[in-house]
Amino acid sequence: METDENAVAHIQVKFFTKQQQYAIQDIPYSLPVNVGTTELNELLNGILKADFVETEWKKLNFDFLHNGEFLRTNLTEHIESKGLTTETVLEVEYVEQTPAPRPQDSLKHDDWVSAVKSTPDLILTGCYDNTIHLWTPKGSHLMTIPGHLGPVKAVDWISHDENGGQFVSASHDQTLMIWQWDRQKNSIECAHVCRGHTRSVECVKVDASHTRFASGCWDGMLKIWSTGEDEGGSGEPDDHEQSQKKLKTNQQKSVTRTPLLTLAGHKESLSSIVWTDTGEVCTGSWDHTIRTWDLESGANKLTLPGAKVLLNLSWSPSSHLLLSGSADRHVRLWDVRVPDGTAVKSTYTSHSGWVSCVSWSPNDTNLFISGSYDNLLKLWDVRSTSVPLFNMTGHENKILCCDWSVPDHMISGGADTTVKIFEAAGHSS
Amino acid sequence: MAAAIDNMSSQVKKVTEKRKLNEETDKDPGFFDEQYNMKNDANDLSDTSDSEESIFSELDDIEGEESDSGKSVSTDESSLENSEENSKDDDAEEEDLRKEEMKKDNTTIVTNVGSWLDSKNMPEVDEYEEDSSDEEDIRNTVGNIPLEWYNDYPHIGYDWRGRKIVKPATGDELDKFLDKMDNPDYWRTVKDRQTGQSVILSDQDLDIVQQIQAGKYPDVSYNPYEPWVDFFSHDTMVHPVTRQPEHKRSFIPSKIEKEKVSKILHAIKMGWIKPRVPKDETAKFYDLWKDGESSQTAAMERRLKHHIPAPKLMLPGHEESYNPPPEYLLTPDEVEAWENQEPETRKINFIPKKYPHLRSVPAYTRFINDRFERCLDLYLCPRQRKMRVHVRPEDLIPKLPKPRDLQPFPTICSIVYIGHEDFVRCISVEPTGQFFASGSDDRTIRIWEVATGRCLKTLQVEGTVKDISWCPNSNLCLVAAAINSTVVLLNPGTGDKLLANGTDATLKNSLTEGETKDSGAVVWKEVPAEKYDTGFRLTLEFKKEVSKVTWHSKGDYFATVEPQAGDGSVMLHQLSRRRSQNPFRKSKGLVQSVLFHPTRPYLFVATQRYVRVYNLLKQELTKKLLTNCKWVSSIAIHPKGDNVIIGSYDCRLGWFDLDLSTKPYQTLRHHKKAIRQVSYHKRYPLFASASDDGTVIVCHGMVYADLLQNPLIVPVKILRGHKVNKALGVLDCMFHPTQPWLLSAGADHTVRLFT
């Protein structure tokens, strides 16, 4: 037994952390190379327990990183794969493990859910049965909003407060609608109908200042619209649509709005838009490119070529990195500031189907979720490229949309007509 | 000192011998002196003092000689003692010289035999007086000259006092003869030429002569090979041989050597002495066999190096035997035939004959001719080494690029479109690629969204949908579907609303423009209002079942096929005028499929075995493609219009280059079962074939702008996914118009998207 222990090589490991509350002394520990993350976790908890004598120490789970990459195997395999030797001191960073998201609620719809967007107290979903739904995070259905003549493909909040909110929806019927919702009366009215697109509107995004929004169309056109009451719209009552009569209350007030700006450049369907700055939009398209547009000059600033059809983008305002889900199995992390062809920083491969949606965490720069046609929603850490942190099952069909704009809720909707709410519980912000 | 010892021993010998001589005869002591002197001569360099001493002692003896022999003996003995005393002083280290000295002695002895023989006949009286160790011969002082010079003189020389030595009287021949007869010692009598005296050799002399002749030491008693101890050997001794400590001199560097070295060093420094240039060690040879400049030597060399032996003659067989087995003998008919043959064409150039025994075999008359012909053959036919070409089977396979270099192409099934409840017979993608329509045996047409797999619309129809085709005109939103014996034109209402409305308007306008011309075979009908709302617009009623419907690229014309309709099986329809016409008066066979050329006014009509290409403007047959298969199922044309692929029910796919030939440029037999559909991609160099074995095979088909370069066809992927249902696999396939994706309709009620 002793000879066996002696036969195992040892390596010096130094632990450090950026979470100051869990900091320990900077001492290297000599560990046998065959330890795994569970043993490291035990060791670290032991050290911390010894340090936290005066306060009660509750056992925590930690994740371990080396050179910005998660340790998922035991040290031997990691050292071998990195080409390291046991001579060197392994500097291991540890972070508190992200707690597992808990499935909180499932919102049943009548048809496929193609779009979802949430505020802390409201969830907005768009459906393939041409309706928009308003839910509370508790799972109670507030309102069904008919109005579109085609499947709703995208929704986004313009503004929301305790009195209600304003949001925009994009649909296959080539229009976008700006809706005004009053919480007290629980009444909805279509403030504006935005016309101008000649094919189905695939995506819509409101900018950070809530004054403008951008929409992308199947024919590759990018249009910028104003959210304001009196801007950019030609006040013309909208009455030529036959089906619009269903919403008589809305119809009287809804005014057709025309785009502030139309940007052509993409050769094929524009599938996703993100606002990277106040005057800057980044778009992903079926023509395999990501383009950034300067709205002041209306010029295409940058074109990043990809290899596959892009289905969704997500922009992180804190790290200035772009995530893309595409029509292969990969989630890609882009740095649009890099001018040459090495814009793809890393590729996350775990899904087995098209990645239809990606979303950064609103408060943690390292976390994001991705939903795929393989029915799985995955929670990722940027530093772990091959293994996601958690797989969130529950959907029985393709996931078409996901949202993580509220730190507590990861929301996904799919072709199984449900919206699943996962609680990102106990996450220390 | 070894010489001294030697000297001493010879002295001992001499003394003893002298004693004997003195006892017997006093005849020739000089001989011994001679001997002694010679020895002395040889050794006097090494030890003069000893020998001189002994000589002088001997000389002293000579004084009182003749009278008292004993005295001389005693003196001799004293000299012996002296020499023995000397010998005691000898150092051991000088012993090794001994052997060499002995050899020297030997040689001296041999060379000097003549001289001492010459000096035999000296007057006895003078003998001791004239004896001297310094002189060679003291009896005759003429020196070392030829004695012939004294032939004419009465004397023969001079003695040491200057007196003439008179030649002794010589007798005549008779005296000699008498002497020979009488004198018993005649045989041992020799003449001393120096003195002219005759000397009779004693027994000792004879012994010595014999010893010398035998190549031995003259002294019989002397043993040169006495046993001795070899102190100095090649073995390294532990202890020094002598106990003497080494001399101080041996530790002190030599001053003289140092001076010499410093002189040389100085000379080298000053450049007076140049260090010796190292010699070039490489041996220089004249290469006799190197390649000569002249071609003749090269040819010679080649002949030498690559010698090709002459081909061997056939070994004689049974026919050549003098007694061949009877079956080798020719029958008279065969002999006649042989004789009638040309000599060159004969199988054998002789007639086998049977002889009772070998001795009755006559001489072979054609021997000279045969040898001559053989020599002629060898001389006239240049022999050449046969170059064997190594052809490996792999080399015969054309070099094709690897599939992974030919990406993108569809590889995996990404989306399954579920909804149909029976075979999905046909699919057609919208020109922009957002939607596609599928027709099924469950009597529905469905409109799907490509990206999500969402069925947007389901249209009920009256029968199974045989074929469906989306209008390629981007300004029209129209789908043509072949259902039973009708073709339905429907507006799915997808895409641009304006376009959809515009399509409806154009359809209405077409009615108002020209009246419906009833061509007899086809009736154009408006659909009733309740069906209009679901999207149906027009119905074309045929007499027989319609199996194919295909649009012209402009979107105004479309063609239909009614296989059972005989002469009117192919119909062309113009949408804008609602007009149908039959372009062919006579049917050329069972029409399987029709196709419009994408850019030029050609119509491809595929019958079971042939594809005919008609020029619609000139109304003539342009080409007839020989498909080389039994039953054509489908046809597709490359977007550039110069290449056509044809799928057949006998598993073949033929690629035709229309500019090249009417025969297939390449035939691919990858499918195991009937090919149902073939399709080209509009943008990517891809084509696919769907088969009943449940697979779709995607091939890379690159057509180059350079007309001289043949198309490159590489099968890249077998797409599996569809299940075989009732012996039917994949019934239709079509590429996405913009992406490298493939949609396939299967008998397993699904449509699949491969990306």
Task: Answer yes or no: do B352 and B412 share one domain.
Answer: no
Determine the Cα–Cα distance for residues A184 and A179; give it in Å rounded to an integer: 15
- Asked whether the predicted pLDDT for residue B437 surpasses 50, the reply is yes
Contact with chain A for residue B451, Cβ under 8 A: yes
Residues written for chain A? 429
Paired strand residues for A273: A283
The answer to whether A353 contacts B414, with C-beta atoms less than 8 Å apart, is yes
Task: Answer yes or no: do B590 and B713 share one domain.
Answer: yes
Instruction: List chain A residues with CB under 8 Å of B456.
Output: 151
The answer to whether B453 contacts A328, with C-beta atoms less than 8 Å apart, is no
Query: What local confidence, expressed as pLDDT, does residue A238 receive?
Result: 43
Query: What local confidence, expressed as pLDDT, does residue B324 receive?
Result: 92
Determine the Cα–Cα distance for residues A327 and A310; give it in Å rounded to an integer: 6
B297 is a domain residue: no
- Domain spanning A102-423, CATH architecture: 7 Propeller (2.130)
Query: What local confidence, expressed as pLDDT, does residue B333 receive?
Result: 93
pTM across the whole model: 0.65
Chain A positions with Cβ closer than 8 Å to B: 112, 114, 128, 151, 173-174, 198-200, 218-219, 268-269, 286-287, 307, 309, 311, 327-328, 353-354, 373, 398, 400, 415
What are A316-372's pLDDT values in tens digits?
988 888 999 988 889 999 888 776 667 788 899 999 999 999 999 988 888 899 999
Q: Suggest the residue from A111, A193, A268, A288 to mutate for an interface test with chain B (most B CBs closer than 10 A).
A: A268
Q: Of B305, B338, B359, which marks where a domain is finished?
A: B359
**Nearest CB to B453 within list A199, A287, A398:** A398
pLDDT band (50, 70, 90) for residue A426: low
* Higher pLDDT among residues B52 and A56, named by residue: A56
B35 is a domain residue: yes
- Asked whether the predicted pLDDT for residue B719 surpasses 70, the reply is yes
Instruction: List chain A residues with CB under 8 Å of B414.
Output: 327, 353-354, 373
Lowest-confidence region among B24-38, B618-632, B696-710: B24-38
**Stretch B247-276: mean pLDDT, rounded?**
90
How many separate domains does chain B show?
A: 3
What are A11-52's pLDDT values in tens digits?
888 888 887 777 887 888 888 878 888 888 888 888 888 777
The answer to whether B496 contacts A415, with C-beta atoms less than 8 Å apart, is no
Q: Of B213, B230, B257, which marks where a domain is finished?
A: B213
The answer to whether A307 contacts B408, with C-beta atoms less than 8 Å apart, is yes
DSSP B728: B
**Stretch B370-392: mean pLDDT, rounded?**
85
The answer to whether B498 contacts A353, with C-beta atoms less than 8 Å apart, is no
What are A63-76's pLDDT values in tens digits?
888 877 788 787 88
Task: Answer yes or no: do B682 and B537 share one domain.
Answer: yes
**Stretch A395-416: mean pLDDT, rounded?**
90
DSSP B127: H
Query: What local confidence, expressed as pLDDT, does residue B57 receive?
Result: 41
Instruction: Supply the DSSP string of A350-412, one letter for each residue.
Output: --SS-EEEEEE-SS-TTEEEEEETTS-EEEEETT-SSS-SEEE---SS-EEEEEEEETTEEEE
The answer to whether A199 contacts B496, with C-beta atoms less than 8 Å apart, is yes
Query: What local confidence, expressed as pLDDT, does residue A245 receive?
Result: 42
State which residue of chain A sits closest to B408, comparing Cα positions. Answer: A307
Task: Answer yes or no: do B508 and B570 share one domain.
Answer: yes
Lowest-confidence region among A112-121, B145-154, B260-269, B434-443: B145-154
Contact with chain A for residue B683, Cβ under 8 A: no
pLDDT band (50, 70, 90) for residue B754: very high
The answer to whether A286 contacts B456, with C-beta atoms less than 8 Å apart, is no
Q: Suggest the residue from B407, B497, B501 to mutate for an interface test with chain A (most A CBs closer than 10 A).
A: B497
Under 8 Å between Cβ of B561 and B546: yes
B396 is a domain residue: no
**Stretch B294-321: mean pLDDT, rounded?**
80
* Higher pLDDT among residues B48 and B127, named by residue: B127
The answer to whether B454 contacts A307, with C-beta atoms less than 8 Å apart, is no
Percent of chain B residues past pLDDT 90, beyond the cut? 26
**Nearest CB to A327 within list B496, B497, B755:** B755
Task: Answer yes or no: do B603 and B734 share one domain.
Answer: yes
Task: Answer yes or no: do B458 and B349 share one domain.
Answer: no
Q: Of B185, B213, B241, which marks where a domain is finished?
A: B213
What are B493-507's pLDDT values in tens digits?
887 788 888 888 888
Query: What local confidence, expressed as pLDDT, does residue A343 receive?
Result: 77
The answer to whether B434 contacts A398, with C-beta atoms less than 8 Å apart, is no
Query: What local confidence, expressed as pLDDT, does residue A230 receive?
Result: 56
Under 8 Å between Cβ of A97 and A414: no
Instruction: List chain B residues with CB under 8 Å of A269.
Output: 434
pLDDT band (50, 70, 90) for residue B181: confident
The answer to whether A218 contacts B414, with C-beta atoms less than 8 Å apart, is no
Query: What local confidence, expressed as pLDDT, does residue A155 receive?
Result: 92
Distance from CA of B410 to the nearest CA of A (A): 11
**Nearest CB to B739 within list A151, A309, A398:** A309
What are B455-487's pLDDT values in tens digits?
988 988 888 999 999 998 888 888 999 998 889
Task: Answer yes or no: do B355 and B415 share one domain.
Answer: no
| B368 SS3 class | helix
Query: What local confidence, expressed as pLDDT, does residue B481 receive?
Result: 92
Distance from CA of A29 to the nearest CA of B (A): 48
* Higher pLDDT among residues B67 and B350, named by residue: B350
Instruction: List chain A residues with CB under 8 Å of B495.
Output: 199-200
Determine the Cα–Cα distance for residues A227 and A248; give it in Å rounded to an integer: 22
Query: What local confidence, expressed as pLDDT, does residue B267 receive?
Result: 93
pLDDT band (50, 70, 90) for residue A254: low
The answer to whether A218 contacts B432, with C-beta atoms less than 8 Å apart, is yes
Residues 6+ apart with CB under 8 A from B212: B109, B110, B113, B218
Query: What local confidence, expressed as pLDDT, does residue A341 receive?
Result: 61
Query: What local confidence, expressed as pLDDT, does residue B638 receive?
Result: 92
Task: Answer yes or no: do B572 and B459 share one domain.
Answer: yes
Lowest-confidence region among A52-61, A129-138, B522-531: A52-61
Determine the Cα–Cα distance for residues A204 and A224; give it in Å rounded to an integer: 10
Instruction: List chain A residues with CB under 8 Å of B431.
Output: none
**Stretch B604-621: mean pLDDT, rounded?**
90
Query: What local confidence, expressed as pLDDT, does residue B295 receive?
Result: 57
Distance from CA of A115 to the nearest CA of B (A): 13
Mean pLDDT of chain B: 78
Instruction: List chain B residues with CB under 8 Å of A221.
Output: none
Q: Suggest the residue from B452, B494, B501 to mutate for an interface test with chain A (most A CBs closer than 10 A).
A: B452
- Asked whether the predicted pLDDT for residue A391 surpasses 80, the reply is yes
Determine the Cα–Cα distance for residues B632 and B636; give it in Å rounded to an integer: 12
* Higher pLDDT among residues B23 and A149, named by residue: A149
Determine the Cα–Cα distance for residues B701 and B688; give it in Å rounded to an integer: 9
Query: What local confidence, expressed as pLDDT, does residue A80 receive?
Result: 81
- B427 token code pair: 């699919």
- Asked whether the predicted pLDDT for residue A62 surpasses 60, the reply is yes
pLDDT band (50, 70, 90) for residue B394: confident
Contact with chain A for residue B497, Cβ under 8 A: yes
Task: Answer yes or no: do B336 and B455 share one domain.
Answer: no
Query: What local confidence, expressed as pLDDT, does residue B10 receive?
Result: 45
Tell me the residue range of the domain where B329 lies: 317-359
- Asked whether the predicted pLDDT for residue B403 surpasses 90, the reply is no
**Stretch A307-312: mean pLDDT, rounded?**
89
Query: What local confidence, expressed as pLDDT, does residue B511 receive?
Result: 65
Cis peptide, bond prior to residue B408, ω within 30 of zero: yes
Distance from CA of B513 to the nearest CA of A (A): 28
B443 is a domain residue: yes
**Nearest CB to B454 within list A112, A268, A373:** A112
Task: Answer yes or no: do B500 and B564 share one domain.
Answer: yes
Contact with chain A for residue B495, Cβ under 8 A: yes
**Nearest CB to B414 within list A199, A287, A373:** A373
- Asked whether the predicted pLDDT for residue B407 surpasses 70, the reply is yes
- Asked whether the predicted pLDDT for residue B259 surpasses 90, the reply is yes
Query: What local confidence, expressed as pLDDT, does residue B113 receive?
Result: 44
- Asked whether the predicted pLDDT for residue A149 surpasses 50, the reply is yes
- Report how far apart, in Å, the C-alpha atoms of B379 and of each of A269, B309, B382, B744 are: 84, 13, 7, 74
Query: What local confidence, expressed as pLDDT, does residue B634 receive?
Result: 92
SS3 labels along B7-72: HHHHHHHHHHHHHHHHHHCCCCCHHHHHHHHHHHHHHCCCCHHHHHHHHHHHHHHHHCCCCCHHHH
The answer to whether B452 contacts A327, with C-beta atoms less than 8 Å apart, is no
Query: What local confidence, expressed as pLDDT, does residue B676 receive?
Result: 92
State which residue of chain B sits closest to A130, comparing Cα positions. Answer: B456
B724 is a domain residue: yes
For the ranges A331-340, A363-372, B59-68, B578-587, the one whose mean pLDDT is highest: A363-372
The CATH number given to A9-96 is: 3.10.20.90
Instruction: List chain B residues with CB under 8 Å of A151.
Output: 454, 456
The answer to whether B432 contacts A174, with C-beta atoms less than 8 Å apart, is no
**Stretch B356-366: mean pLDDT, rounded?**
90
* Higher pLDDT among residues B203 and B120, named by residue: B203
Q: How far apart are the first and last CA of chain B?
A: 116
What are A160-202's pLDDT values in tens digits?
888 888 899 999 888 899 988 888 888 888 888 888 888 889 9
Report which residue type is found at A298.
G
Under 8 Å between Cβ of A400 and A419: no
Instruction: List chain B residues with CB under 8 Å of A200.
Output: 434, 495
Ordered by start, the domain boundaries in chain A are: 9-96, 102-423
Lowest-confidence region among B230-239, B659-668, B712-721: B230-239
Instruction: List chain B residues with CB under 8 Å of A354.
Output: 414-415, 755
Residues 6+ apart with CB under 8 A from B470: B428, B429, B430, B431, B436, B437, B478, B479, B551
Say if residue B470 is exposed, middle or buried (CB neighbours under 10 Å; 0-12, 13-18, 19+): buried
Percent of chain A residues past pLDDT 90, beyond the cut? 21
- Asked whether the predicted pLDDT for residue B56 surpasses 50, the reply is no
Distance from CA of A219 to the nearest CA of B (A): 8
The answer to whether A151 contacts B497, with C-beta atoms less than 8 Å apart, is no
The answer to whether B498 contacts A286, with C-beta atoms less than 8 Å apart, is no
Instruction: List chain B residues with CB under 8 Å of A173.
Output: 497
What are B11-21's pLDDT values in tens digits?
444 444 444 44
Query: What local confidence, expressed as pLDDT, does residue A23 receive?
Result: 80
Interface contacts A/B by beta carbons within 8 Å: 45
**Stretch A385-390: mean pLDDT, rounded?**
85
The answer to whether A311 contacts B451, with C-beta atoms less than 8 Å apart, is yes
* Higher pLDDT among residues B68 and B430, named by residue: B430
**Stretch B708-735: mean pLDDT, rounded?**
90
Distance from CA of B502 to the nearest CA of A (A): 13
The answer to whether B452 contacts A112, with C-beta atoms less than 8 Å apart, is yes
**Nearest CB to A174 within list B414, B434, B497:** B497
Query: What local confidence, expressed as pLDDT, does residue A247 receive?
Result: 43
Query: What local confidence, expressed as pLDDT, does residue B81 receive?
Result: 43
What ipTM does this complex have?
0.85
Query: What local confidence, expressed as pLDDT, does residue A300 receive?
Result: 86
Determine the Cα–Cα distance for residues B619 and B212; give it in Å rounded to an integer: 139
